Amino acid sequence: MKRISYVILASILSAGFASCNYLSIDDYFSDEIKIDEVFANKRNVQAYIWGMTGDLRDEGSLYQDSDFPGPLATDEAFTMYGTQHGYNGMRLVLGEISASSPYSFSNVWTTSYQCIRRANTVFARIDEAKDLTAQDRAELLSLNRFIRAYAYYKLWLAYGPVILVGDEEIPSNLDLGEYDRARATNEETVEYICSELEEAAKYLPETYPLMEFGRPTKGAAYGLIARIRTYYASPLWNGGEAARRCFGNWYRKTDRVKYVTTDEYDEERWAIAAAACKRVMDMKRNGAPMYSLFTVQEDTQTPPLPEGVTSDPDFYEPYPVGAAGIDHLRSYSEQFTGEAVIATNPEYVWGRKSQSLVDNTRMSFPISFGGWGGMALTQKIVDSYSMYDGRSIDNSSEAYPYSESGFTNEQKSFSGYRLNAGVYNMYDNREMRFYACVGFSERFWPMSSTTMSGKYNQTVTYYYDSPNGKQNSATDYSPTGYVIVKYIHPNDAWDGDNARRMDKGYPIIRYADILLMYAESLNHLTKAYEIKLGDETYSVSRDLNEIKSAFNLVRHRSGMPGISNNDLADEETFQKILEIERMKEFLHEGLRYFDVRRWGIYEETENETIMGMNVDGSKENFYQRTVPNTSRIGARLVHKKLYLLPIPLSEIRKLPSCDQNPGWES
């Protein structure tokens, strides 16, 4: 029987470590091998550590049964899908989430602490595996430490200050409630997670073979630190108005210590965040930058740069100095659609293959072509995209005008994208990220993997009486007349012979995020700082050239002019510009939910009424801004308690010393 067990174990190891999915190890030991055998040898320890991640969800699960509320709990998205099907972002904003019935958000609490418990077992017992070399031990402990820190990171994102259990081994036959303790303060939580990631990074490799894509690297640890430090420096956690409003009266009941700093602003946090981002930016491999933005070289289908741009003197220079020489639509789009090779994308500081992203494309696909057609974008998102020359829709030029009347007269083709004739003028002359992300009425859908006539090369409309309009279903339609198409490849199809979908990658940390967090952090500095991280010291200040260089890499990649000196001169002005840039650049990547909260603008953004096109009208009256005709709009809940999720009431009852989050019943 033992021989059979080890044969099974060997096959699991082989499959797991050859897989592109770093969460591929089953929870084998809890069912098949006693805990004493885990530490019998190196191979078992490896499998046990990887098995800790088995309960963690696919990070690319952004809409349904997800760990975090995601786009549906922001101004990015709206849907009529029934919340009983696991659309927890909608549940949250409709007031259906409570501490006693948090649905799947309780999964973060439960599985994270299970992971932490198992990691502590490894720390306590790893020396029992006598065939481990000193290097084996160091590498496995670093991996174990990273996984435990990542579990704490997810807890912090969801709930704020956490319960820290240190290295204490908690026997598996005891409930966590047997180790009742109070939550740490927010400062203690952040410093602990970052210190653990710093320690883990010492022995994590910089890269893995392509077949092991998705495993955490040194860059993944440094990238998480950069994100945590940036969030920690932001107003919600750093003495801002949102901190005072949400956490001003939040004290730990065991000693009356405040959980969150609400009275003192610490500018040095921004300096530390900037240094943490710069460390990732400075990483090298064989003398070249470890990470860079993904780009595709221009070809005959690439449209010329817009004429007449004067605000950015570098705009017409070759990328990365300017925007010339690359295809801006493909450079942005192909890293999400599956066209780019996921494992070799230099923009992934840490990423993974995501089956959830593949499956979720069906939520946007037209119902007449095998989809559900209801993962809607809001008019606010559509309006945020610039015109082709970088001007806003409220300040468009004669060369690239914006109009809310009439339709285009001719078909356009660029970068492999077809813009039909007869498209509403609102959707003409827009920046390339708009076409990469927004599905609008009269959009052309290639769906070229299917070979069935009538199932590919189709134009889709969302008028009430169209095949994909509201008349066909109470839930499977777009209530705004738009859908998210960011992850949909031109080959992707859900209906017809040979219909298939391309594999998708989800960037847990994308280099564009590092660049924009760096620019944001520098923007808030009023003096120079010397920040030591590990063995390196970083000099940071509000250096306008540094801010411009980082920010413009993202802008130029999208084909947009870089930031002007006038817009950069004022801290508040640039912050507002950066907020819009992040909304567009990271649309439906799960970041906006956290961004609007850390900036303290969640209530402001969510109080804006959701709008779209008139899906109750035929083509003649479809194209007018309107509030969707559904009670869900008025039922959306905006409340300061929604800055954090509730800790499951069942857990609070087990832990008398643990305080509930503000505003949630305990």
Tokens of 343: 């494992």
Amino acid (1-letter code) at residue 539:
S
What's the confidence (pLDDT) of residue 140? Answer: 95
pLDDT confidence of 36, banded at 50, 70, 90?
Answer: confident
Higher pLDDT residue, 21 or 488? 488
Please state whether beta strands 288-289 and 348-353 pair in parallel, antiparallel, or not at all (unpaired). unpaired
Read off the pLDDT of each residue in 206-230 and give the average, rounded to a whole number. 95
Question: With contact defined as beta carbons under 8 Å apart, do 481 and 379 qualify?
Answer: no
**At residue 28, does pLDDT exceed 60?**
no
Tokens of 634: 């008025």
What's the pLDDT score for residue 12? Answer: 35
Structure tokens at 182: 């109070």
41-55, 82-96, 443-457: which range is least confident on average?
41-55
Q: Which residue has the higher pLDDT, 311 or 56?
A: 311
Helices (H), 298-406: 328-337, 355-360, 379-384
Cα-based distances in Å from 90 to 65, 563, 580 = 11, 35, 23
Helices 218-233 & 268-281 angle (0-180, nearest 10): 160
The residues near 446 (Cβ < 8 Å, ≥ 6 apart) are 418, 456, 457, 490, 491
Instruction: List, for residues 115-137, the tens digit of each pLDDT value.
Output: 999 999 999 999 999 999 999 99
What DSSP element (H or E) covers 220?
A: helix 218-233
pLDDT tens string 69-120: 999 999 999 999 999 999 999 999 999 999 998 776 778 998 899 899 999 9
Query: Could you tell me the pLDDT band of residue 168, with boundaries at 50, 70 and 90?
Result: confident
pLDDT value, residue 33 = 57
Residue with tokens 């550590």: 49
Q: How far is CA 481 from CA 78, 83, 108, 469, 622, in A?
A: 11, 20, 33, 9, 9
Residue 433 · residue 585 · CB < 8 Å: yes
- Grade residue 34 by pLDDT with cuts at 50, 70 and 90: confident
Percent of the chain with pLDDT over 90: 86
**pLDDT tens readout for residues 382-425:** 999 999 999 999 999 999 999 999 999 999 999 999 999 999 99
CA distances from 375 to 66, 431, 521 (A): 15, 22, 33
Can you spell out the DSSP letters for 91-133?
Answer: HHHTT---SS--GGGHHHHHHHHHHHHHHHHHHHHGGG-TT--
Residue 17: what pLDDT?
31
Contact partners, residue 403, CB within 8 Å, separation at least 6: 425, 426, 428
pLDDT digits (tens, 9 = 90+) for 439-448: 999 999 999 9
The confidence score (pLDDT) of residue 388 equals 98
Peptide bond into 479 cis (omega under 30): no
Which of 381, 376, 588 has its CA nearest to residue 468? Answer: 376
Closest to 465 measured CA to CA, from 630, 625, 611, 616? 616
**pLDDT (mean) for 325-337:** 98
pTM of the model: 0.94
State residue 179's pLDDT score.
Answer: 72
Residue 26: pLDDT band by 50, 70, 90 thresholds? very low
Model pLDDT for residues 505-526, shown as the tens digit of each residue: 999 999 999 999 999 999 999 9
Assess whether pLDDT exceeds 50 at residue 2.
no
Q: Could you read off the pLDDT of 466-498 as tens digits, one per residue?
A: 999 999 999 999 999 999 999 999 999 999 999
State mean pLDDT over 344-360: 96
| CB within 8 Å of 320: residues ≥ 6 apart | 293, 553, 556, 557
Task: Work out whether strand 443-445 and strand 458-460 pair parallel, antiparallel, or are unpaired.
Answer: antiparallel
pLDDT at residue 14 above 50?
no
pLDDT band at 5 (very low <50, low <70, confident <90, very high): very low
Q: Name, in order, each residue with C-beta under 8 angstroms of 114's C-beta and a sequence gap of 6 or more.
A: 52, 55
DSSP-based three-state secondary structure for 348: strand
Burial class of residue 534, CB neighbours in 10 A (0-12, 13-18, 19+):
exposed
Res. 666: pLDDT tops 80 = no
Mean pLDDT value across the chain: 92
Would residue 597 be called left, alpha or beta, if left means φ above 0 and alpha means ψ between -120 and 50 degrees? alpha
Rounded average pLDDT over 549-564: 97
The pLDDT value recorded for residue 177 is 66
Give the integer Cα–Cα distance in Å for 581 and 578.
Answer: 5
For residue range 615-627, list pLDDT tens digits in order.
999 999 999 999 9
